[in-house]
Amino acid sequence: MKKFVSLSLLIAIILIAVSCKEKKPQATSNPSQAIPNLPSASDTIQFPEETHLKNVQQLTFGGDNAEAYWSYDSKYIVFQRRNPKEGIMCDRIFMGKVPEKPGDKFEYKMISSGKGRTTCPFFTKDGKHIIYASTHLGADTCPPVPDRSKYGNKYIWPLYDSYDIFMAGLDGKITRQLTHSKGYDAEGTLSPDGKKMIYTSDKDGDIDLYIMDLETGKENRVTNTLGYDGGAWFSPDGKKIIWRASRPKTDAEVKEYKDLLAENLVAPVNMEVFVANADGSNAHQVTHFGQANWAPAFFPDSKRIIFASNQEYKRGFPFNIYSINEDGTNLQKITHEKIFDAFPMFSPDGKKLVFCSNRNNGGTHDTNIFIADWVDK
């Protein structure tokens, strides 16, 4: 979602934003949209403070790689990838088998159609299909990115109304269209039993969460508060949902949110982690840090939470991965990268963590996928 510009220009943008005391935007489905990628102080696979991680392995090398999510059997990951050097001008969906031991090569293949823009892939329970959002019904080409200069150079996020969610086989053939509304339908993930999908849509006038029964197609809207609600997951035990949300409160914040939404845009520069029962009841806010707290998911125990945040850094970067209890206590810092770590997800067997990072990219703009054995303490 970002245009590649020179490093000097990116630094200038940051300095301008800091001097104007603007809050830095958070990442969305593409880390490139989140913050400018700047070279790390030193290229490394793992930092000494990252004691929860063992046998860290880099899976991809080059381009923007994000939203890497496990199959139910913990053997494969599916992810989105953009790399203009390879002719991949907007996000496409790829999958690959996770190396069984450190040093094994990670090989992957594209399984989306190559038409439109695609995002937010997720395996089905049977391991034979994926769901993902695509704009290909609107056009075969990549949809245009917004002109951010019209909005004070904020990192706004387009809500393409041609996005719908589809199910496809691992051969790339689409077998079913899951959403049909005129508007943004994306960010879908599935319940542990594979029977329900939670996703984000603006079809009722706000950006809310919906849960669909995949067999019947019946669905319920589970959020009703003004603001962006997205990036939702079920807990491993299926009893809860977790997501990221913005909650504009002042008149100026509400006006800006509604004005952007009317143009199919959102600039959720403040997001917090929320949790609710699986039906949306008992919704409550977990984090209260300000800035960008997002990409949350439950630990395998369905109690603790892992998420990405820039809350330690008033300039809006770096982003690191943290853990926290559902009641907001026991905040722990997991990663210590100097620019960007995000999109953490535990394998269903609880043994590994996958995440996306700017580390070890040689000072380029690349965001890559990493896996590690998880060490609980």
pLDDT digits (tens, 9 = 90+) for 296-306: 999 999 999 99
Cα 310–63–95 angle (5° rounding)?
95
Which domain does 336 fall in, by range? Answer: 7-374
Q: What is the DSSP letter of 59?
A: -
The percentage of residues in the chain with a pLDDT greater than 70, rounded to a whole number, is 89
Counting the structural domains of the chain, the total is 1
Q: What is the signed CA dihedral for 120, 111, 86, 372, rounded to 10 degrees?
A: 60
Q: What is the pLDDT of residue 33?
A: 40
Give the span between the Cα atoms of 273 and 238, in whole angstroms: 18
Give the span between the Cα atoms of 332 and 328, in whole angstroms: 11
Is 2 domain-assigned?
A: no
Is 182 domain-assigned?
A: yes
Of the pLDDT bands very low, low, confident and very high (cuts 50, 70, 90), residue 36 is very low
SS3 per residue for 151-220: HCCCCCEECCCCCEEEEEECCCCEEEECCCCCCCEEEEEECCCCCEEEEEECCCCCCEEEEEECCCCCEE
- The CATH number that applies at residue 222 is 2.120.10.30
Is 1 domain-assigned?
A: no
Is 51 domain-assigned?
A: yes
Q: What is the pLDDT of residue 35?
A: 39
Give the span between the Cα atoms of 266 and 273, in whole angstroms: 18
Give the predicted TM-score (pTM) of the model: 0.89
pLDDT digits (tens, 9 = 90+) for 10-20: 322 232 232 22
Is 57 domain-assigned?
A: yes
Q: What is the pLDDT of residue 154?
A: 85
What the block records as the tokens of 354 is 């996958």
Instruction: Give me the mean pLDDT over the 258-279 stretch.
Output: 94
Of the pLDDT bands very low, low, confident and very high (cuts 50, 70, 90), residue 42 is low
Give the span between the Cα atoms of 306 and 334, in whole angstroms: 9
Give the span between the Cα atoms of 244 and 268, in whole angstroms: 10
pLDDT digits (tens, 9 = 90+) for 212-250: 999 999 999 999 999 999 999 999 999 999 999 999 999
Is 39 domain-assigned?
A: yes
Give the span between the Cα atoms of 333 and 377, in whole angstroms: 13
Instruction: Of 113, 140, 127, 126, give the one whose Cα is nearest residue 78.
Output: 127
What the block records as the tokens of 344 is 């953490």
Of the pLDDT bands very low, low, confident and very high (cuts 50, 70, 90), residue 155 is confident
